[in-house]
Every structure is written in structure tokens, then in C-alpha cells.
Amino acid sequence: MGAWAIAVHGGAGVDPNLPKERQEEAKRLLTHCLDIGISALRSNLPAIDVVEIVVRELETDPLFNSGRGSALTDNGTVEMEASIMDGPKRRCGAVSGLSTVKNPVSLARLVMDKSPHSYLAFSGAEDFAKKQGVELVDNEYFITEDNVGMLKLAKEANSILFDYRIPTVGTCGAGAAAMESPLQMNGLPISVYAPETVGCVVVDKEGRCAAATSTGGLMNKMTGRIGDSPLIGSGTYACDLCGVSCTGEGEAIIRSTLAREVGAVMEYKGLNLHEAVDFVIKNRLDEGKAGLIAVSKNGEVACGFNTTGMFRGCATEDGFMEVGVW
């Protein structure tokens, strides 16, 4: 019997001027989700069940960019994606392009458990959801007043907004920020870097690792855009050594297969979890900006990021618990 550990995140890349009340609100939600996960682990639920339960809670709360409160496409609709992976036997499930499924991570779990496939998207995923009897809601359920306002700003600035809740003073200022920003995605300038994807990683007492990630993607993204979150090995990965969930610039995470790299350097370089996380953040992102949370089969927990901050929290069986932003 080993020791359990859990970590959660609400996105990497935080505006340095983010109001204190917003920071505290995020910390309260992360603490609440950690408490849910800890209770489940103390009840001896397997790691794969715990990551699903925690991410469902994050999807239901509109604070972060997943489920209700997801970012809007350039058409003003929501297209959500999620993935989940069970370390033992590396079983996985993923979904993209969801517009009516209340909890995308649970549909990803059903893809893993109840289908012959690993990944379903758009109308095929929605049809599968109906057949499985999962809870469906109108697309309007996911859309918040704040997001409608930020989409308007993004369109006026002709840019993709990463943290769509950062206050912007005037549309002229937003446009100037987009033009002057040194940050780029695939060579194109972007305005603000601070995505708020959610994720959870867990190792249970049996040493089983699991990971899950869920997101609404980018504000003002092109319809049909798929990021790293549903891509096994990029945004999410779990094996017999570790579980990893990533957040940040999706295109950079995809290019570096960031989540899998943590397990790879542990396996092939013999690094421990903390060394592996530090190595991939420093050496695999090129000029990309991202962060990740990870656990190992030995009960270790770690996080790493090269952004200004990352909403995160972690806890271990020995009583350690920490929630942070910077």
C-alpha cells in the first residue's frame, strides 16, 4: 500500500493585475475541489473515479474555462473538449466539439469504458452522448454574460483572448495590446496570455495514476479548432509511473507532446517526478507558454509552469495541502 496524492489546476498564465477578489475566489474553488478529491481518496475510490469527480465539479462552476463558463467560438457558441486516462493499461477516452453535454469529462470516461474507440468528436460525440443517456442541456447553459462581453472585445480587437475575464480598458487599448504583444501563436500575434483550462491528477493508495483535463478552448477561436486538452500525450497522460494534466498554449503543448514527455524522461532518463516536470517545462516548450500538474506512483506531487502564474492546488496523504496562483 502506498500513499495517495492529488493535484488540480485552473489554468496557467495569470494576469499580474488580476483583482485580489478573483484570486481568492479561484483559491476557494480549488480548495473545495481538493476537499472533494481527498474525501473520495479516503473512501478508497480508485484514481480514475477521483479525477472524473473533481473535474466534473470544476466543469459545473462557471469560474474557470470548462463546462459552464466555457470560452466562445467566433460564432458565439461553445465547443468543449475533454480527456481522461487511466494509468493501468493506459486506457483513455477523449471528446471534442461538444455543445450540449453538461459534463464533457464524463462523456470522455464513457468513450473509454463503453465504446471501442479512444476519441469521438462533434456530431459523433453528441450522438454517442444521447445513446449513453448523459445529461444534456441547451448551448445557452454554458454561455455567461461575461463571456459574451469578452467575445465582443475580442472581435473588436481582432484577436484571440486567452484570459477572457481580464478587464480591458476600452477597445482601443485592447487593439493596441494585440498589436504590440510579443506573444505569438503559430507566428501570429495574440493579445493576452492566460488560459483557464481545468485538470486533475491523482495517485491512489494502490499506486494507480490517472489524469483528466477539460476546457472550452480559446475565446474567439475558429469553429472546429481542437486544442491540446483532448489529445492523449499532449494535454493529458497517465501510465504506471505518473499522471499529468497540462494547460496553456495548446499549439505549443501539442507540438511538444508535453504530458507524455514527463513520463518519457522518468522512464528513459531515470528522473524523479520533480526533475521530470522541471526538465520538460525548461526544454520542451521552445517559445511556448504552459504549465502542468503531475503525480507519481510513489505518492509524489509536482507542478511546473513558465507563465506568470498558474491556478493550482495539491494535497498528499501525510497532511500536506497547498493552493496557489503565483
Q: Which amino acid is at 168?
A: T
Judge whether 42 is annotated as a binding position. Answer: no
Residues linked to residue 314 through DSSP beta bridges, in sequence order? 7, 322
With cell 494534466, the residue in question is 245
Question: What is the rounded CA–CA span in Å between residue 299 and residue 7?
Answer: 11
The DSSP secondary-structure symbol of 141 reads G
Query: Which three cell numbers mark 36?
Result: 472533494
Nearest CA-CA partner of 263 in 286, 235, 296, 231: 296
Q: How many CB atoms lie within 10 A of CB 234?
A: 25
Catalytic residue among 73, 77, 100, 197: 197
Say whether 73 is catalytic: no
Judge whether 225 is annotated as a binding position. Answer: yes
Judge whether 250 is annotated as a binding position. Answer: yes
Question: What is the rounded CA–CA span in Å between residue 283 and residue 256?
Answer: 10
User: In a 3-state reduction of DSSP, which class is residue 25?
Assistant: helix
| Secondary structure (DSSP) of 93-140 | EEEEEESSBS-HHHHHHHHHHHSS-SEEEHHHHHHHHHHHT--B--GG
Judge whether 199 is annotated as a binding position. Answer: no
Return contacts of 36-44, CB within 8 angstroms, 24+ apart: 37/6, 37/8, 37/200, 37/202, 37/315, 38/6, 38/315, 41/4, 41/6, 41/202, 41/204, 41/205, 41/317, 44/204, 44/205
Q: How many CB atoms lie within 10 A of CB 75?
A: 12
Judge whether 57 is annotated as a binding position. Answer: no
Judge whether 160 is annotated as a binding position. Answer: no
Which segments are annotated as binding site? Answer: 225-228, 247-250
Q: Which residues are catalytic?
A: 197
Which segments are annotated as binding site for substrate? Answer: 225-228, 247-250
